[in-house]
């Protein structure tokens, strides 16, 4: 079990992690989700004692990482793909790690077998593809057969087969009652891998829930309605308990509303009863990725300037200047 | 990627039953550092350069200087080969070869930072300082073996060239030109010679640790190598130009200036420290820098 309590980390005047608290339970894959620069890697480094938090504590099975005598036998970690000397072979990289923990040489061969690198283990890491480097990192994480695993963007650079492999590996390891904490900036990847999600943005906790709950909540159904009399319709919808958000109409199109809380037939009935003309009435299913982007929109660290690009009507919520 | 068997990790990762392990600890850390240092090419290359440069240049300079003597050209080096042949032999090739040791010392630690391997190492040993201690010990053991071998080989190469060589010199004594024939003889049994030769290996070992400490402080390969070589070749020798007796004292106590005293078989005029005192001063500087490197290793984000 991993517990983070009020973690804060500042680099100069930049706040990377902002009073973050969470718990990662054993027996399930916990996804750690956030846009690039949200503080995922920093949080993992704080948990692993590589960086020193400005405030707060992180413990693994109740103890700070630094107090573990043979830490690799409790915790396995995959950091950025290249936390290894490019001139050293995978075998020697794993061997020296094993020697620090008093692990037998045989264990190095076992983990090389596990990640499928046995045949290339004597070659220098310099010549490895990104995917192969990731596998070396995973082998290093599995070296001490740990009960807690922290994996930072493990699918980076892996081909589809590799992604499937690591996904199944994580699920399998979780089924053995291990604690699996895996970061990603890809919502869809986490939706199929993780049982539980911790979402952060700009170093702050945005959401924590089961993946199932997160998906249901995030892909909340909405209905797109176009009407020349959308103002009146919006008021009627609000009166019926729905929520109508004005959308920017594309050039030459009728003003649109995105309605949540009422389904399409009910909106049609309301319109008919009040003799309001509808040009379009379309149920929408929000994608998970869209929900994630929306949820973290305010906290994107390196976002592009969206005002410079023409906006898709459905993608933006009402901006005051364009409402009718 | 070639074929990789999809998840059949069941066999390799049986439920979190711990993998049987020997008792680890500092012995394991030493073993790990040995694995690290022997498994990168830079170690082999740098040591090869050290051996070739040291032995090659010792032979070349000694041979050239003896030839120059015979041809009647007497430079300063030529006279020092006559007055202090042991220091001449040990000072030429090793004087340049020592730079390879500086590079290797800095590299064994900075390459871990530049590659990110330091994070793997610190994850395995979160108490951190044992990593640097074990690295220092293993590196020192390697350098003392190679350094002593090269120091003794350098001496014997020089000895073979120098001994029995008849030098024909012209001296002007009281207005008369005199032709002088003399031979130089060096031997390990002469006073101070064994200390100078063995001391050269010791000096190289502490120099390597000195560079390792600087590498641990600066953490960037180019910066650390520049700093060490700049100190050893430029800053410390230039400090000899400082005026007055305080200047002489400052110069005498600088790390490599003091350290090199042990590589000389006889004291030079006005030498402030004895050979072993000088070596002690060099060791103290190095210990201080290593302590600073450990202090920062404990405190800094990795």
DSSP A45-74: HHHTTSS--SEEEEEETTB-GGG-SSGGGT
Give the minimum alpha-carbon distance from B135 to chain A in angstroms, rounded to a whole number: 12
Contact A289, A188 (CB under 8 A): yes
CA-closest candidate to residue B42, choices B94, B106, B97: B106
A116 and A186 together in one domain: yes
| Per-residue pLDDT at A250 exceeds 80 | no
Task: Give CA–CA dist A180/A50, Å, rounded.
Answer: 19
Contact A7, A20 (CB under 8 A): yes
Give the minimum alpha-carbon distance from A271 to chain B in angstroms, rounded to a whole number: 55
CB contact under 8 A, B301 and A51: yes
A131 neighbourhood in chain B, CB within 8 Å: 1
Task: Give CA–CA dist A104/B143, Å, rounded.
Answer: 28
Task: Give CA–CA dist B199/B205, Å, rounded.
Answer: 10
Kindly state the average pLDDT of the residues A73-102: 92
A90 and A163 together in one domain: yes
Task: Give CA–CA dist B108/B142, Å, rounded.
Answer: 12
A88 and A55 together in one domain: yes
Q: Is B1 helix (H, G, I), strand (E, B) or coil?
A: coil
End-to-end CA distance of chain B: 31
pLDDT, one tens digit per residue, over B219-243 is 999 999 999 999 999 999 999 898 8
Domain that holds residue A32: 2-217
Task: Give the CA distances from residue A255 to residues A223, A226, A266, B26, B51, in Å, rounded to whole numbers and listed in that order.
Answer: 14, 6, 20, 73, 82
Query: Nearest 5°: CA angle at A114, between A112 and A116?
Result: 65
Cβ of B175 under 8 Å from any chain A Cβ?
no
Confirm whether B146 is domain-assigned: yes
Domain end, chosen from A217, A233, A249, is at: A217
Q: Which long-range contacts (CB under 8 A, 24 or more apart) does A314-318 make?
A: A314/A224, A314/A247, A314/A256, A314/A258, A314/A284, A316/A247, A316/A248, A317/A245, A317/A247, A317/A258, A318/A245, A318/A246, A318/A247, A318/A248
A144 neighbourhood in chain B, CB within 8 Å: 18-19
How many separate domains does chain A show?
A: 2
A16 and A134 together in one domain: yes
CB contact under 8 A, B115 and A85: yes
The token pair at A211 is: 């993946």
| Per-residue pLDDT at A318 exceeds 50 | no
3-state SS, A121-179, equals: CCCEHHHCCHHHHHHHHHHHHHCCCCCEEEEECCCCCCCHHHHHHHHHHHHHHHHCCCE
Confirm whether B7 is domain-assigned: no
Domain that holds residue B181: 37-299
Give the minimum alpha-carbon distance from A296 to chain B in angstroms, rounded to a whole number: 28
How many separate domains does chain B show?
A: 1
Which H/E stretch holds residue A198?
Answer: strand A196-201
Q: How many residues does chain B have?
A: 302
Task: Give CA–CA dist B35/A85, Å, rounded.
Answer: 12
pLDDT, one tens digit per residue, over A255-286 is 888 888 888 889 999 999 999 999 989 887 66
A194 and A236 together in one domain: no
Task: Give CA–CA dist A259/A130, Å, rounded.
Answer: 45
Cβ of B116 under 8 Å from any chain A Cβ?
yes
Q: What is the pLDDT of residue B5?
A: 45
B39 neighbourhood in chain A, CB within 8 Å: 88-89, 92, 96
Side by side, which strands form the sheet with A55-60? A14-24, A2-11, A55-60
What predicted TM-score, i.e. pTM, was given to this entire model? 0.83
Confirm whether B10 is domain-assigned: no
- The pLDDT mean for chain A works out to 86
B1 neighbourhood in chain A, CB within 8 Å: 116, 129, 131-132, 159, 161-162
pLDDT, one tens digit per residue, over A111-158 is 999 999 999 999 999 999 988 999 999 999 999 999 999 999 998 888
Confirm whether B25 is domain-assigned: no
Residue of B nearest to A81 (CA): B116
| Per-residue pLDDT at B16 exceeds 70 | no
Q: How many residues does chain A have?
A: 324
Give the minimum alpha-carbon distance from A144 to chain B in angstroms, rounded to a whole number: 6
Confirm whether B13 is domain-assigned: no
Torsion angle (degrees, nearest 10) of CA A189, A190, A192, A197: -170
Give the minimum alpha-carbon distance from B49 to chain A in angstroms, rounded to a whole number: 18
Other beta carbons within 10 Å of A218? 21
Which value does ipTM take for this structure?
0.86
- The pLDDT mean for chain B works out to 88
Among A10, A74, A84, A99, pick the best mutation site for testing chain B contact (most B Cβ within 10 A): A99
Cβ of B221 under 8 Å from any chain A Cβ?
no
A246 and A201 together in one domain: no
A103 neighbourhood in chain B, CB within 8 Å: 19, 21, 24
End-to-end CA distance of chain A: 53
CB contact under 8 A, A89 and B115: no
Cβ of B13 under 8 Å from any chain A Cβ?
yes
- Which residues 19-78 in chain B show a CB within 8 A of chain A? 19-25, 28-29, 31-33, 35-36, 39-42
A257 and A239 together in one domain: yes
Task: Give the CA distances from residue A160 to residues A35, A169, B1, in Å, rounded to whole numbers and listed in that order.
Answer: 22, 14, 11
| Per-residue pLDDT at A313 exceeds 70 | no
Give the minimum alpha-carbon distance from B117 to chain A in angstroms, rounded to a whole number: 4
Q: Is A5 helix (H, G, I), strand (E, B) or coil?
A: strand
pLDDT, one tens digit per residue, over B191-207 is 999 999 999 999 999 99
Confirm whether B245 is domain-assigned: yes
CB contact under 8 A, B12 and A71: no
A88 and A171 together in one domain: yes
- Pick B111's closest partner by Cβ from A66, A85, A177: A85
Confirm whether B240 is domain-assigned: yes
Torsion angle (degrees, nearest 10) of CA A209, A212, A216, A219: 90
Domain end, chosen from A194, A217, A240, is at: A217
A172 and A312 together in one domain: no
CB contact under 8 A, B41 and A107: no
| Per-residue pLDDT at A298 exceeds 80 | no
Confidence category of residue B73, pLDDT binned at 50, 70, 90: low
SS3 content of chain B, % helix, strand, coil (to 5): 70, 5, 25
The token pair at B286 is: 């190095």
A87 neighbourhood in chain B, CB within 8 Å: 40-42, 111
Cβ of A101 under 8 Å from any chain B Cβ?
yes
Confirm whether B24 is domain-assigned: no
Which CATH number fits the domain that encloses residue A315?
3.30.70
Q: Is A300 helix (H, G, I), strand (E, B) or coil?
A: coil
B24 neighbourhood in chain A, CB within 8 Å: 70, 99-103
């Amino acid at each position: 079990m991993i517990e983070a309590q009020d973690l804060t980390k500042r680099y100069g005047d930049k706040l990377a992690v902002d009073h973050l608290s969470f718990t990662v339970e054993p027996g399930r894959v916990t996804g750690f989700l956030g846009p690039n620069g949200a503080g995922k890697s920093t949080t993992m480094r704080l948990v692993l004692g590589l960086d020193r938090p400005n405030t707060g504590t992180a413990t693994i099975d109740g103890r700070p990482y630094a107090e573990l005598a043979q830490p690799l036998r409790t915790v396995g970690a995959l950091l950025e793909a290249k936390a290894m000397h490019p001139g050293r072979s995978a075998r020697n990289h794993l061997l020296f790690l094993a020697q620090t923990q008093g692990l037998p040489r045989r264990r190095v061969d076992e983990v090389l077998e596990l990640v499928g690198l046995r045949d290339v283990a004597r070659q220098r890491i310099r010549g490895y593809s990104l995917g192969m480097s990731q596998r070396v990192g995973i082998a290093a994480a599995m070296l001490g057969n740990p009960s807690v695993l922290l994996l930072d963007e493990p699918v980076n650079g892996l081909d589809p087969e590799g992604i499937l492999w690591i996904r199944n590996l994580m699920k399998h390891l979780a089924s053995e009652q291990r604690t699996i904490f895996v970061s990603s900036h890809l919502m869809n990847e986490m939706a199929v891998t993780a049982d539980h999600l911790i979402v952060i943005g700009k170093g702050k906790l945005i959401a924590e829930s089961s993946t199932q709950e997160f998906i249901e909540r995030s892909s909340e159904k909405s209905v797109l309605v176009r009407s020349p009399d959308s103002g009146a319709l919006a008021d009627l919808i609000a009166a019926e308990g729905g929520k109508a958000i004005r959308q920017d109409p594309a050039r030459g199109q009728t003003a649109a509303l995105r309605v949540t809380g009422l389904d399409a037939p009910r909106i049609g009935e309301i319109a008919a009863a009040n003799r309001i003309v509808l040009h379009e009435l379309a149920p929408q299913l929000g994608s998970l990725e869209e929900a994630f982007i929306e949820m973290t929109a305010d906290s994107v660290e390196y976002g592009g300037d969206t005002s410079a690009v023409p906006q898709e009507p459905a993608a933006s919520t009402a901006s005051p200047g364009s409402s009718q | 990627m070639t074929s990789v068997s999809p998840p059949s990790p069941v066999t390799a990762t049986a439920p979190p039953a711990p993998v049987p392990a020997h008792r680890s600890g500092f012995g394991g850390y030493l073993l790990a550092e040995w694995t690290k240092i022997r498994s990168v090419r830079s170690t082999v290359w740098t040591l090869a350069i050290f051996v070739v440069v040291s032995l090659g240049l010792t032979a070349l300079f000694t041979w050239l200087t003896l030839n120059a003597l015979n041809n009647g050209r007497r430079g300063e080096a030529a006279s020092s080969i006559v007055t202090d042949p042991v220091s001449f032999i040990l000072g030429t090739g090793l004087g340049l070869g020592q730079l390879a040791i500086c590079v290797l010392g800095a590299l064994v630690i900075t390459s871990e930072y530049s590659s990110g391997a330091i994070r793997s190492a610190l994850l395995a040993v979160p108490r951190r300082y044992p990593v640097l201690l074990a690295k220092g010990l293993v590196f020192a053991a390697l350098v003392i073996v190679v350094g002593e071998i090269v120091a003794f080989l350098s001496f014997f190469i020089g000895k073979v060239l120098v001994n029995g060589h008849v030098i024909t010199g012209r001296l002007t004594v009281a207005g008369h030109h005199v032709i002088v024939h003399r031979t130089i003889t060096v031997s390990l049994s002469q006073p101070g010679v064994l200390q100078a030769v063995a001391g050269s290996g010791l000096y190289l070992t502490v120099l390597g640790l000195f560079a390792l400490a600087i590498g641990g402080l600066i953490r960037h390969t180019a910066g650390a190598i520049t700093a060490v070589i700049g100190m050893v070749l430029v800053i410390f020798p230039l400090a000899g130009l400082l005026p007055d007796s305080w200047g002489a004292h400052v110069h005498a106590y600088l790390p490599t200036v003091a350290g090199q005293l042990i590589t000389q078989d006889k004291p030079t005029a006005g030498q402030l420290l004895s050979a072993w005192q000088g070596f002690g001063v060099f060791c103290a500087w190095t210990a201080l820098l290593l302590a600073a490197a450990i202090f920062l290793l404990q405190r800094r984000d990795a």
